[in-house]
C-alpha cells in the first residue's frame, strides 16, 4: 500500500479497514473493562477516545479516493497553453497545471485512436495489446480492464464519450468490460461527426432525430452534461469517471457560440471541402472552428473540475487530463499553423515524438504539490496500475504498465522506471519505435524486408529527431534491435507489422 505525505506519514492513502478493525477490538476491550467497574473513569475515557478513533478510521475507509480521467481526442501536446501554445486559449487546463503537476515526458498508447484506448484500458503496450490498429478488436473476456479492476474494488464506474474497443454485440462492449454506465459512441468512425443521429446509453440507442441536419445536439455537450450528472449522483460513493471526449477530432465543427469569438481575430485558411462532398463536413472557417473546439473543450474541463470542488470532493479526487495521440491534419485541421506538435517531429499516425508525446496534467489538492512538473517517462499503459495502486487493488499480471503514483506525490526516489517504452503500427509500411532512456529507436518499413532500417536519435540533444546517429552508436542500435524482436508477441491472425494488408 502506498503511503501519503499528508498528515501521518504512515497513514494509508486508500482504505483503512485494518485500523478500523483494530479500533473496534480495542473498544470492545475497554467496554468490558468498564462493565467490571474497577476505576471506571479511565476506561470510560479510553472508550471515548477509541470510539473517536473508530469513527475516524471508518470515515477514512468510506472515502476511498475517486478518480476523474479526461481524455481529449487528437489534441497535440503543443495545442495547450502550458505546453507552449501561443494562439489557442486553454485557461482552465492551464489552471489545472498551476494547481497540480505537469508531465513533460508522457506518451500515448499509440499514434491513433483504437489502439491507444486498448492500451489505456488493459495496461499493455501495442506489442502486447489486443488492439494494435484502428478497425481491429474487440476486447475479449480475458482482457482485464481498468473498469473491472476498479469495479472489483467497490467503485462505481462510467465511460462517457468515445469507446472504440468493441461494438454493442461484441465482448468488447463497455458494459461487458467493467463499466456501470456508458454513454457515447461505440464506433469511432461514427464519432467523426459531432451531431450524430444516436448515441449509446449502455445497451440502448438514444435517438436524436434530424440531428445531423438540424444540429440540435452537439455530442460533446451531451457528454459534459452526463459527466456532471454522474458526479452529482455518485458524490457519496467511490467512483471512476472516464471522459474520452471527441474534441478536437475532425469533423472540424463546433457550435457558433464557440467559433464566433475567433472569427476575424485569427488568420484564416481556405475553406475545407465542399458541402456534402467528402467524409468530413465542409467547413468555411477551419481555423476559427478548430480554435472554438479547443476553447469548448477547455471550458468543459473547467466545468468538471468546478463541480468536483463544489461537491467538496477535491481533496479526495485526483483529476487527470491528457490526450490520445498527436494532432491530426485531416478534415481542415492545421497543426502546422497552430504548432500542434510543438518542437516535436510528426503528427497523428506517426511514431515520431509529435505523434505520441502528449500532455498530461494531474491535480489533487493536498496530495500533489501545486505548480510542479515531472520528467518521469510514462505512458497510457501506466494508468491502470496507477489506479490500482491508488485504491489498494491488485493490478492484473503480465501488464506493461508501472504505477506513477510516487511521481504524482513527489516521491521521485521511490518511483520505479521503465526499462523501455514500446510502440508499433502497421501504418507507413510497418513501424516500430522504442524509447529507452535518452535514446529513441525506430525500425521502419518492416513489411518490406529489403528496405527495413533502424534509425536512432538522442532525445537529450535532438528533441526534433532530426539527426540519425545510428552509425555512431552500433551498440545502442543492437540493443534496439533486440527489443524490436523480443518486446512484442505475435497477434492472433495476420501479423500486420510484417504483412501488408494489401497482400492476399
Compute the half-sphere exposure of residue 36: CA atoms within 13 Å on the CB side of its CA: 10
Rounded (to 5) percent helix, strand, coil in the chain: 35, 15, 50
Per-residue pLDDT tens digits for 30-72: 444 443 344 444 344 444 444 443 443 333 444 799 999 999 9
Task: Report phi then psi at 114, rounded to 5.
Answer: -65, -50
Residue 60: per-residue pLDDT: 42
Task: Report phi then psi at 121, rounded to 5.
Answer: -70, -35
Domain housing 476: 421-486
Total domains, the chain = 3
Per-residue pLDDT tens digits for 311-357: 999 999 999 999 999 999 999 999 999 999 999 999 999 999 999 99
- Which residues is 425 bridged to in the sheet? 431
Report pTM: 0.88
Q: Which of 361, 379, 414 is the last residue of a domain?
A: 414
Which long-range contacts does 263-270 make (Cβ < 8 Å, 24+ apart)? Answer: 263/288, 266/87, 266/291, 267/337, 269/332, 269/334, 269/337
Residues 132 and 199 in one domain: yes
Residues 349 and 461 in one domain: no
Residue 353 near residue 344 (C-beta atoms within 8 A): yes
Residues 129 and 228 in one domain: yes
Would you call the peptide bond into 138 cis, given omega within 30 degrees of 0 as the criterion? yes
Residue 491: per-residue pLDDT: 83
Other C-beta atoms lying within 10 Å of the C-beta of residue 5: 14
The CATH number of whichever domain residue 140 belongs to comes to: 3.40.720.10
Grid coordinates of 132: 494494435
DSSP state of 155: -
Residues 110 and 24 in one domain: no
Q: Cα separation of 10 and 3, whole Å?
A: 6
Residue 136: per-residue pLDDT: 84
Q: Is 496 contained in some domain?
A: no
Residue 493: per-residue pLDDT: 74
Query: According to DSSP H, which parts of 311-340 are helical?
Result: 335-338
Q: Is 246 contained in some domain?
A: yes
Residues 319 and 445 in one domain: no
Q: Is 34 contained in some domain?
A: yes
Residues 357 and 437 in one domain: no
Residues 127 and 264 in one domain: yes
Q: Is 174 contained in some domain?
A: yes
Start-to-end C-alpha separation, the chain: 52
Residue 137: per-residue pLDDT: 81
Residue 243: per-residue pLDDT: 99
Q: Cα separation of 501 and 493, whole Å?
A: 12
> Which regions in the chain score pLDDT beneath 70?
1-62, 501-504
Nearest to 293 by CA among 257, 344, 341, 243: 257
Residues 54 and 166 in one domain: no
Q: Which of 34, 61, 88 is the last residue of a domain?
A: 61
Residues 451 and 394 in one domain: no
Q: Cα separation of 415 and 462, whole Å?
A: 26
Residue 177 near residue 168 (C-beta atoms within 8 A): no
Residue 502: per-residue pLDDT: 55
Helices 383-391 and 113-122 meet at what angle, rounded to 10? 30
Residue 120: per-residue pLDDT: 98
* Dihedral over Cα of 125, 126, 130, 136: its sign: positive
Q: Which of 414, 431, 452 is the last residue of a domain?
A: 414
Residues 279 and 292 in one domain: yes
Q: Cα separation of 13 and 335, whole Å?
A: 41
Residues 47 and 87 in one domain: no
Q: Is 491 contained in some domain?
A: no
Residues 79 and 121 in one domain: yes
Task: Report phi then psi at 195, rounded to 5.
Answer: -120, 75
Kind of pairing between the strands at 319-323 and 67-72: parallel
Residue 501: per-residue pLDDT: 58
Q: Is 497 contained in some domain?
A: no
Q: Is 364 contained in some domain?
A: yes
Per-residue pLDDT tens digits for 469-486: 999 999 999 999 999 999
Q: How many residues does the chain have?
A: 504
Q: Is 72 contained in some domain?
A: yes
Amino acid at each position: 500500500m502506498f503511503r501519503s505525505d499528508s498528515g501521518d506519514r504512515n497513514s494509508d492513502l486508500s482504505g483503512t479497514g485494518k485500523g478500523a478493525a483494530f479500533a473496534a477490538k480495542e473498544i470492545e476491550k475497554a467496554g468490558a473493562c468498564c462493565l467490571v467497574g474497577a476505576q471506571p473513569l479511565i476506561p470510560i475515557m479510553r472508550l471515548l477516545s477509541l470510539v473517536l478513533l473508530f469513527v475516524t478510521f471508518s470515515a477514512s475507509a468510506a472515502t476511498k479516493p475517486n478518480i476523474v480521467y479526461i481524455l481529449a481526442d487528437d489534441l497535440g501536446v503543443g495545442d495547450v497553453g502550458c505546453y507552449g501554445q501561443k494562439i489557442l486559449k486553454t485557461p482552465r487546463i492551464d489552471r489545472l497545471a498551476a494547481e497540480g503537476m505537469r508531465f513533460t515526458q508522457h506518451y500515448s498508447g499509440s499514434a491513433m485512436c483504437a489502439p491507444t484506448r486498448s492500451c489505456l484500458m488493459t495496461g499493455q503496450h501495442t506489442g502486447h495489446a489486443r488492439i494494435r490498429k484502428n478497425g481491429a478488436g474487440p476486447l475479449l473476456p480475458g482482457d482485464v480492464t481498468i473498469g473491472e479492476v476498479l469495479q472489483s474494488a467497490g467503485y462505481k464506474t462510467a465511460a462517457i464519450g468515445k469507446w472504440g474497443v468493441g461494438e454493442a454485440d461484441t465482448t468488447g462492449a463497455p458494459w461487458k468490460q467493467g463499466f456501470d454506465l456508458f454513454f457515447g459512441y461505440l464506433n469511432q468512425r461514427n464519432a467523426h461527426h459531432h451531431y450524430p443521429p444516436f448515441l449509446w446509453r449502455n445497451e440502448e440507442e438514444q435517438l436524436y432525430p434530424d440531428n445531423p441536419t438540424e444540429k440540435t445536439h452537439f455530442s460533446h455537450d451531451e457528454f459534459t452534461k452526463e459527466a456532471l450528472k454522474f458526479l452529482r449522483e455518485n458524490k457519496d460513493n467511490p467512483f471512476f469517471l472516464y471522459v474520452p471526449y471527441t474534441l478536437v477530432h475532425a469533423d472540424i465543427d463546433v457550435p457558433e457560440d464557440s467559433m464566433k469569438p475567433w472569427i476575424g481575430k485569427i488568420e484564416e485558411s481556405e475553406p475545407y471541402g465542399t458541402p456534402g462532398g467528402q467524409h468530413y463536413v465542409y467547413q468555411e472557417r477551419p481555423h476559427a472552428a478548430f480554435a472554438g473546439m479547443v476553447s469548448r473543450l477547455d471550458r468543459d474541463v473547467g466545468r468538471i473540475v468546478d463541480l468536483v470542488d463544489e461537491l467538496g470532493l477535491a481533496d479526495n479526487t485526483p483529476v487527470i487530463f491528457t490526450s490520445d495521440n498527436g494532432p491530426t491534419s485531416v478534415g481542415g485541421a492545421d497543426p502546422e499553423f497552430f504548432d500542434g506538435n510543438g518542437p516535436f517531429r510528426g503528427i497523428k499516425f506517426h511514431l515520431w515524438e509529435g505523434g505520441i508525446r502528449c500532455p498530461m496534467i494531474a491535480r489533487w489538492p493536498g496530495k500533489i504539490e501545486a505548480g510542479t512538473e515531472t520528467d518521469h517517462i510514462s505512458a497510457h499503459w501506466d494508468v491502470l496500475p496507477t489506479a490500482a495502486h491508488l485504491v489498494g487493488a491488485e493490478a492484473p499480471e503480465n501488464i506493461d504498465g508501472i504505477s506513477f503514483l510516487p511521481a504524482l506525490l513527489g516521491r521521485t526516489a521511490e518511483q520505479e522506471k521503465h526499462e523501455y517504452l514500446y510502440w508499433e503500427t502497421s501504418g507507413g509500411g510497418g513501424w516500430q519505435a522504442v524509447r529507452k532512456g535518452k535514446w529513441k529507436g525506430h525500425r521502419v518499413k518492416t513489411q518490406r524486408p529489403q528496405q527495413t532500417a533502424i534509425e536512432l536519435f538522442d532525445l537529450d540533444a535532438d528533441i526534433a529527431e532530426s539527426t540519425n546517429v545510428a552509425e555512431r552508436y552500433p551498440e545502442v542500435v543492437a540493443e534496439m534491435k533486440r527489443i524490436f524482436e523480443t518486446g512484442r508477441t505475435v497477434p492472433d491472425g495476420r501479423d500486420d507489422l510484417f504483412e501488408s494488408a494489401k497482400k492476399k
